[in-house]
Amino acid sequence: MNTKIYLKKIYKKIFDVSTKIIPYQTYYRPNGFYWSVNDENSLLASEEATYTEAFPRSTPDIEFNDPYYKLCTTGLEPELVASIPAAFIVKIPQGRLQQNMLGVDISVISKNNKLIGEISYQYVRSNVAAPIYEHDILRQKLFLTPKRYKGTVFSMLSGDVASSNIFHWLYDALPRLYILKESGLLNTVDWFLMPVLKHKYHKESLRILGIDLNKIIECSEYIHLQADTLLITSPVRHKGITPNWVCKAHHKYFVTDLATQEADYPPLVYIRRGDSSIRQITNEGQLMAMLEKKGFKSYLLSQLPFAEQVKLFSNAKVIVAAHGAGLANLAFCKEGTALIELFAPGYIKPTYQVISKKSGIDYTYMICKAASDNTPASMVEAMNQNMVVDVEEVSKQLFAVMQRVGKLTSLAIPHP
Is residue 312 assigned to a domain? yes
pLDDT beyond 80 at 269: yes
Indicate whether 238 and 386 sit together in one domain: no
Indicate whether 222 and 350 sit together in one domain: no
Query: Of 81, 71, 75, whose CA–CA distance to 341 is shortest?
Result: 71
pTM here is 0.92
pLDDT beyond 70 at 260: no
Section 22-40 average pLDDT: 93
The per-residue pLDDT for 224 is 95
The per-residue pLDDT for 127 is 58
Q: How many CB atoms lie within 10 A of CB 29?
A: 17
- Domain boundary, last residue among 225, 254, 283: 254
Indicate whether 285 and 231 sit together in one domain: no
Contact 100, 223 (CB under 8 A): no
Distance CA(347)–CA(368), nearest Å, equals: 11
- Domain boundary, last residue among 206, 227, 254: 254
Distance CA(267)–CA(414), nearest Å, equals: 15
Q: What is the pLDDT of residues 309-363, one digit of tens each?
A: 999 999 999 999 999 999 999 999 999 999 999 999 989 999 999 999 989 999 9
pLDDT beyond 60 at 1: no
pLDDT beyond 80 at 185: yes
Indicate whether 187 and 268 sit together in one domain: no
Is residue 15 assigned to a domain? yes
Strands (E), 25-140: 33-34, 50-55, 87-93, 96-99, 106-109, 115-116, 123-125, 128-129
Contact 318, 411 (CB under 8 A): yes
The per-residue pLDDT for 410 is 65
Is residue 90 assigned to a domain? yes
The per-residue pLDDT for 68 is 83
Is residue 26 helix, strand or coil? Answer: helix
Indicate whether 19 and 112 sit together in one domain: yes
Is residue 413 assigned to a domain? no
Indicate whether 311 and 236 sit together in one domain: no
Identity of the amino acid at 184: G
Contact 265, 313 (CB under 8 A): no
Indicate whether 46 and 13 sit together in one domain: yes
Q: What are the distances in angstroms from CA 14 to CA 100, 222, 392?
A: 12, 12, 53
Domain count, the chain: 2
Indicate whether 121 and 16 sit together in one domain: yes
Instruction: Give the mean pLDDT of the chain.
Output: 90
Q: How many CB atoms lie within 10 A of CB 372?
A: 14
Section 136-142 average pLDDT: 95
Is residue 414 assigned to a domain? no
Indicate whether 123 and 265 sit together in one domain: no
pLDDT beyond 60 at 220: yes
Section 223-249 average pLDDT: 94
Indicate whether 234 and 282 sit together in one domain: no
- Cβ burial, residue 15 (10 Å; 0-12/13-18/19+): middle
**Domain of 56, in residue numbers:** 3-254
Is residue 416 assigned to a domain? no
Contact 74, 65 (CB under 8 A): no
Is residue 149 assigned to a domain? yes
Query: Of 168, 176, 171, 225, whose CA–CA distance to 198 is shortest?
Result: 168
Query: Of 194, 96, 188, whose CA–CA distance to 146 is shortest?
Result: 96
Indicate whether 129 and 41 sit together in one domain: yes
Section 183-209 average pLDDT: 96
Indicate whether 193 and 278 sit together in one domain: no
Contact 399, 327 (CB under 8 A): no
Identity of the amino acid at 292: E
The per-residue pLDDT for 159 is 79
Strands (E), 75-119: 87-93, 96-99, 106-109, 115-116
CATH classification of the domain holding 278: 3.40.50
Give start and end residues of each alpha helix (H) in 28-143.
43-46, 67-71
- Domain boundary, last residue among 254, 286, 312: 254
Is residue 415 assigned to a domain? no
- Give me the sign of the Cα torsion angle 7, 9, 10, 11: positive
Which of 197 and 80 is assigned the larger pLDDT?
A: 197
